[in-house]
Structure 1
Amino acid sequence: MADTLCTSTSTSSPERDGALGRFAREYRTVRKAEGWGSADGAYYRALPYHDLTHRFERIWRIRTRSFETFVDRILRPLEDRFSRPLMILDLGGGNGWLSYRLAQRGHLVTAIDLTLDPLDGLGAIRHYDARFLPVQAEFDHLPIRDSVADLAIFNASLHYSPNYVDSIGEALRATRPEATLAVLDSPFYGQAASGQRMVRDRQHRFLAAYGFTSDSLQAEHFLTRTRLDEIAQAHGIHWRILPPRTTLRGRIGRRVMNLRLRRETAEFPVIIGTRA
């Protein structure tokens, strides 16, 4: 796996580095306050199927559905097609749960994240019994050689990007021409106005709770069909949007939440990109 790495050619400015540092500090503050992570290694190995802390079971149910849809519709067909271990980039790898699941299937995985936090970042990899390579980096400046990966996965992370065109472009640089991009667990809205309302609501909530809005990166925060079309035009990508399986209870709950919030709530489809 290490042979996929190169010396970083980052052109990040001091301003960008400062924003990244602030983002990482604020992210850790929020996640620690919310109670993410565990001292029990079994917690990490059970993800995404079981949240042994029971603190974020709804979120992990969403991620389980996304992961199962991704495996059934994308990963297994790729495994059948290549008949070899895939070179995979887990972009926004967090505590490493996705990299672990992919490594268990025999793939060569590089997990990339800004934070090395022992509970909620790459420092948690000590709990896993399948090996993958952790790399501290941002996904707009990947220390990865050109055209080496078969699959790049934005793992609940693309919405933190300040410019989706740039972030997708960097992932394309690091992947082979026939590679696949996957976007998992980023909020998707039918109407941009609903996403903008979500952002304002969260900023107000964070400011009240933590004293900051947590927007140092000026992220795009959410996806829409229109924004995907703009990215496709910029990079010559064909997108497929795969809705995860949902239950009747889940659909009713979403409608109730829409009424309560007076806006559309986010969906979390599995979004797949290939070069056209």
Structure 2
Amino acid sequence: MAKPGTPAELAWTPQFVCPRCATSLTTFSSGTLGCGACQTAVPLRDGIYRCLRPERLKEIEPFLAHYRRVREEDGYRHRESAYYRSLPRVDPHDAQAARWRVRHESFRHLVRVLLRLGRRPLRILDLGAGNGWLSHRLTALGHRCVALDWLDDVEDGLGAQRHYPVGFTCVQADFDELPLAPGQFDLAVFNASLHYSPDFVGTLRHARGMLVAGGALVVMDSPVFATEQGGHRMLAAQQIDAGAMHRSVVQWGEGYLTKSGLARAGRDARVGVRWIPSRGGPSWAARRWLAGLKERREPAKFGIWLGGWPPARPDGARPLGSCASGPGSPESASQPEGPAVNRSARGPISLRGGLWRWWLRLRHQTLGRRYRRLVLERVDGVPLVVLPEVFNPVLFRTGVFLARSVRPPDPAGAAEPRALDVGTGSGIGAIFASRLGYRVVGVDLNPEAVRCARLNVLLNDVEGRVEIRSGDLFAPVAGNQFDLVLFNPPFFRGTPADRLDLAWRATDVIERFAGGLGGALSPSGEALIVLSTDGESRAMLAALDAAAFAVRPVARRDFGNEILTVYSARRRTPGASSA
């Protein structure tokens, strides 16, 4: 754990580009970044990458000066490390307790979004990070965060990173001149910041460009009103309370959002936007109602607005304004197609949505206790040790779902049928196949997974039928053919951050698996591959089709936040057309 005043070690550093010419930057021994094209230097000072152009910094300096004064008068400064580490929770008697209650509620919403994005280490861009409380919380949950803000203040800006025991990357930069290579984040969060943008559409487009395929945008803690009059009245009230300094803060943008304006901006930026309603219960609703009476104006809403997500999810999220998903809408055009599901057969959405939210809260508590830890799982009577750096097949469901989809070998087939479990992880697929009569070889690139699988083979007394080898895809079994091949692939493209991330990300594993499957599969053999609607399903299916395999679904289950499908792939009969 880092000492107060010392930035913690970073778990991941993103790829930077030059703020002037967008050329990839080179890192020097001092930590400074340099551009070989235009000779721009980006210094790393006090743990913060200083990416604001000098002329831009001079332009916004009056805003920053006023902002510091306003925040100091509001009681945001001069805090101990314990205060920052506990955020968004604060003492009920704190001067900012009401505001942090809003932040705490929004953070609970965000946790739900993280569960839907996938229970893996996510790469998250925190836009308007302020003192870094959100990046601190998300990094503590195991994610990789980049905190970006104008303010580098040591009390209320990026300099406050010194208070946190976990490391995240701090970048002083502009929303609309992001010094980061595109396509490297799973989630971008506008952290109480989008309402300061002078160009909502442009800002959303810039943030969208940072995302991987299937990534999401979140707008949280920005005041949103049904009408512009509500926003104007809020600003008028702030100006009465704080004088000209608040006017200086909001002159850089509208200072508020409206539902219709946010929907329009999302549509123009091609990131369909939905509102995830508050789950704060009657007490939360009562606080908003009383606030409206006290201030004699429409109270702002501070929920989560989610962009770029597949439609018709049963978690209470609903379309905002004209950005409802549908055929031909910008949102549907940007989303990968998933297997068709009869949503109308699910029963009343309100009841299901309420039960689903309750289940997500319970599941999140369970995940926190078992993720990245040494645990003993049990599946259908099979005990499984899962090491901290190994994909947990129970928490993340795909391993169990694939293993349960394996069927006994054909009695008319080989005398001793052989199976290959590619990316064996904990070894669950190999063990289940061996219990059905296969002689199995399991392979994995992660040395911790190899060790874990070997432990489970011994634990389940199947060492006579299962062999675990270390290596990449089919390399450890070159020259051998199998009657059954199992594959639970990484669902997302990208460079893995660590050993555990190997189970989630890869660059070209889909194409290499499809290209090598023909050499490893016997003439009458079958491959079973589990895919998720949250991952690169279409890319895998297209690669198998291009490699002359006939593919059909054999098992499918809708878990609410994702749909898992096990596909069977067999050699295509000569002369048969592709599906």
Partner of 1:242: 276
- The higher relative CO (CA closer than 8 Å, separation ≥ 6) is in 1
* Larger displacement relative to structure 2 (107-116 or 258-267): 258-267
Partner of 1:213: 247
Partner of 1:175: 211
Partner of 1:34: 74
Please tell me the residue identity of whatever aligns with 1:2. Answer: T
Q: Deviations over 1:176-228 (max 9, x none)?
A: 231100011000111121112212332343326x5x62147431211222112
Q: Quick check: 1:20–1:217 contact (8 Å CA) kept in 2?
A: no
Partner of 1:104: 140
The match for 2:127 among 91, 94, 102 is 91
Please tell me the residue identity of whatever aligns with 1:270. Answer: I
Q: Distance in 2 between matches of 1:102 and 1:5?
A: 21
Q: How do residues 1-276 of structure 1 correspond to structure 2 at under 5 angstroms?
A: 1-9=12-20, 17-51=57-91, 54-72=94-112, 74-80=113-119, 83=120, 85-207=121-243, 210=245, 213-215=247-249, 217-274=251-308, 275-276=331-332
The 1:52–1:145 alpha-carbon spacing in structure 2 relative to 1, beyond 3 Å, is farther
Q: Distance in 2 between matches of 1:52 and 1:259?
A: 22
Q: Deviations over 1:209-255 (max 9, x none)?
A: x5x62147431211222112211221222211012222433323322
Q: Quick check: 1:187–1:266 contact (8 Å CA) kept in 2?
A: yes
Q: Quick check: 2:195–2:256 contact (8 Å CA) kept in 1?
A: yes
Q: Distance in 2 between matches of 1:4 and 1:67?
A: 27
* Number of residue pairs matched by the alignment: 270
Identity value in percent: 37
Structure 2: tracts of 5 or more residues without a match: 1-11, 23-51, 309-330, 333-579
Q: Quick check: 1:203–1:214 contact (8 Å CA) kept in 2?
A: no
- CA positional deviation for 1:52: 8.2
Partner of 2:556: none
* TM-score of the superposed pair, with normalisation by structure 2: 0.44
Please tell me the residue identity of whatever aligns with 2:296. Answer: R
The 3-state SS of whatever aligns with 1:213 is helix
The higher radius of gyration belongs to 2
Q: Distance in 2 between matches of 1:259 and 1:53?
A: 23
Q: Quick check: 2:196–2:250 contact (8 Å CA) kept in 1?
A: no
Bigger proportion of residues as helix: 1
Q: Distance in 1 between matches of 2:102 and 2:14?
A: 34
Q: Distance in 2 between matches of 1:242 and 1:183?
A: 11
* Larger displacement relative to structure 2 (16-25 or 111-120): 16-25
The 1:215–1:31 alpha-carbon spacing in structure 2 relative to 1, beyond 3 Å, is closer
Q: Distance in 1 between matches of 2:247 and 2:284?
A: 30
Bigger proportion of residues as strand: 2
The 1:256–1:166 alpha-carbon spacing in structure 2 relative to 1, beyond 3 Å, is same
* TM-score of the superposed pair, with normalisation by structure 1: 0.89
- CA positional deviation for 1:65: 0.7
Please tell me the residue identity of whatever aligns with 2:257. Answer: L
Q: Quick check: 2:180–2:210 contact (8 Å CA) kept in 1?
A: yes
Structure 1: tracts of 5 or more residues without a match: none
Please tell me the residue identity of whatever aligns with 1:30. Answer: V
The 3-state SS of whatever aligns with 2:209 is helix
- CA positional deviation for 1:10: 7.5
